[in-house]
């Protein structure tokens, strides 16, 4: 049984925090990540003492923390609902190749969901007539200003479909002033302000006090004054309240430690799992040689990568040594045919003895990693 974090007379805040983290994020993160996340949250809570410390604990429970995989699955479902129409084109509307928008498009291409010929840059628009519908993808749309600039500058003659994981009502109102824009908002999560998070009067006072001391007028309550409390694996949009991510506060809060830093955030699940996989490869190979007789090593390594949720095909290919994406899909089909995995729209689920064997190796690896990282 998981003890409630609401009742907490018999639990310290730190114990309550760990219970809360495990309860809320157990389906998103593994044991190492949960401990790392709880330590980050605890450092934030320790900005205060006494009643104010309890208030910060209440505040962190209201943070909308999402994984990149959640974002991808949401976008994937929306994109698949479009694919019957062959006139859709996916626009790389952001210049930064590392932007979440471009990464989502690359992942869709790598996983064979959309063809690379369906992805275009703004300068290629002149090659396509207005019978094509342009799709804009992002993980989060806060103010909608970036998309509005792209739409007004380049897309006024096209029908536009907007796909995202999260969006604000402000962005919806902003974008829907364009008659040629359709937002698939029924399949997105609507974000709200900290004022709408059911914080009590004292907790709201803490938020207002800290954010007012932010040295940047623009970011006190988030860019656009949106007051969001959202983060993707610790990467926090600047539309979120400053106390969660900004690093420069004035007296009396000049020593304030934000929950997440926009530049130095806690390692993403992908990074941790790739590290675990590569650093323990010899132990994994030895386990396969000793105990796994029903599939060859390459297929077993692929299954373990799937168990560790390394869904990026480029990273999987590099780690295991695949030469083409086609080889990966062949091995996935082998696992399906042997009934060792089940593949659905949301995830790949290991079955039977493969689930047991990968579970044993993951448990051993996690134990080693906890010692390395100083977790108990």
Mean pLDDT of 365-369: 65
Provide the pLDDT for residue 368: 65
Name the range with the highest mean pLDDT among 12-26, 200-214, 284-298, 331-345: 200-214
Rounded Cα distance between 192 and 239, Å, is: 11
Rounded Cα distance between 338 and 358, Å, is: 16
Q: Using an 8 Å Cβ cutoff, are 74 and 139 in contact?
A: no
pTM (two decimals): 0.71
Domains and CATH numbers, the chain: 13-62+197-244 (no CATH), 68-140+155-186 (3.40.50), 269-372 (1.10.10)
Provide the pLDDT for residue 347: 61
At 95, is the pLDDT very low, low, confident or very high (cuts 50, 70, 90)? confident
Which residue did the predictor score with more confidence, 376 or 52?
A: 52
Provide the pLDDT for residue 376: 43
* Tens digit of each residue's pLDDT (9 = 90 or more) over 132-157: 999 999 999 999 999 999 999 889 88
In the predicted structure, residue 4 carries a pLDDT above the cut 60: no
If we measure between CA atoms, which residue out of 133, 125, 177, 128 comes closest to residue 153?
A: 125
Provide the pLDDT for residue 345: 53
Mean pLDDT of 302-326: 79
Peptide bond into 252 cis (omega under 30): yes
Q: Which two tokens stand for residue 209?
A: 């006090």
> DSSP for 201-232?
HHHHHHHHHHHHTBS-TTTTT-GGG--B-EEE
Mean pLDDT, rounded, of the chain:
84
In the predicted structure, residue 268 carries a pLDDT above the cut 70: no
Mean pLDDT of 85-108: 89
Q: Which two tokens stand for residue 108?
A: 């869709």
């Amino acid at each position: 049984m998981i003890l409630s974090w609401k009742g907490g007379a018999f639990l310290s805040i730190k114990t309550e925090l760990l219970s809360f983290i495990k309860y809320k994020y157990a389906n998103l993160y593994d044991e190492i990540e949960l401990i790392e996340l709880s330590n980050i949250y605890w450092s934030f809570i320790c900005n205060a003492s006494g009643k104010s410390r309890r208030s910060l604990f209440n505040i962190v429970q209201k943070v909308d923390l999402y994984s990149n995989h959640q974002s991808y699955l949401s976008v994937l479902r929306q994109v698949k609902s479009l694919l019957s129409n062959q006139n859709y084109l996916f626009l790389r509307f952001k210049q930064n190749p590392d932007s979440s928008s471009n990464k989502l498009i690359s992942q869709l291409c790598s996983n064979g969901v959309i063809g690379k010929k369906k992805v275009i840059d703004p300068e290629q628009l002149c090659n396509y007539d207005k019978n094509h519908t342009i799709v804009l993808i992002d993980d989060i749309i806060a103010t909608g200003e970036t998309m509005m600039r792209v739409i007004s500058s380049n897309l006024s003659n096209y029908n536009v479909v907007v796909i995202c994981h999260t969006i604000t009502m402000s962005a919806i109102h902003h974008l829907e002033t364009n008659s040629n824009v359709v937002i698939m908002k029924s399949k997105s999560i609507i974000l709200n302000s900290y004022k709408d998070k059911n914080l009590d009067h004292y907790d709201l006072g803490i938020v207002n006090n800290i954010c007012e001391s932010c040295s940047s007028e623009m970011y006190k309550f988030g860019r656009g004054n949106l007051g969001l409390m959202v983060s993707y694996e610790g990467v926090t949009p600047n539309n979120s309240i400053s106390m969660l991510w900004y690093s420069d506060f004035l007296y009396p809060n000049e020593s304030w430690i934000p929950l997440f830093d926009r530049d130095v955030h806690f390692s993403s699940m992908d990074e941790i799992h790739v590290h675990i996989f590569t650093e323990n490869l010899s132990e994994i190979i030895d386990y396969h040689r000793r105990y796994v007789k029903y599939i060859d090593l390459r297929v077993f390594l692929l299954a373990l990568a799937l168990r560790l949720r390394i869904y990026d095909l480029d990273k999987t290919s590099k780690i295991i040594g695949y030469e083409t994406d086609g080889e990966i899909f062949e091995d996935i089909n082998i696992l399906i045919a042997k009934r060792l995995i089940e593949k659905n729209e949301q995830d790949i689920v290991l079955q039977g003895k493969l689930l047991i064997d990968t579970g044993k190796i993951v448990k051993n690896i996690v134990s080693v990693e906890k010692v390395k990282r100083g977790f108990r």
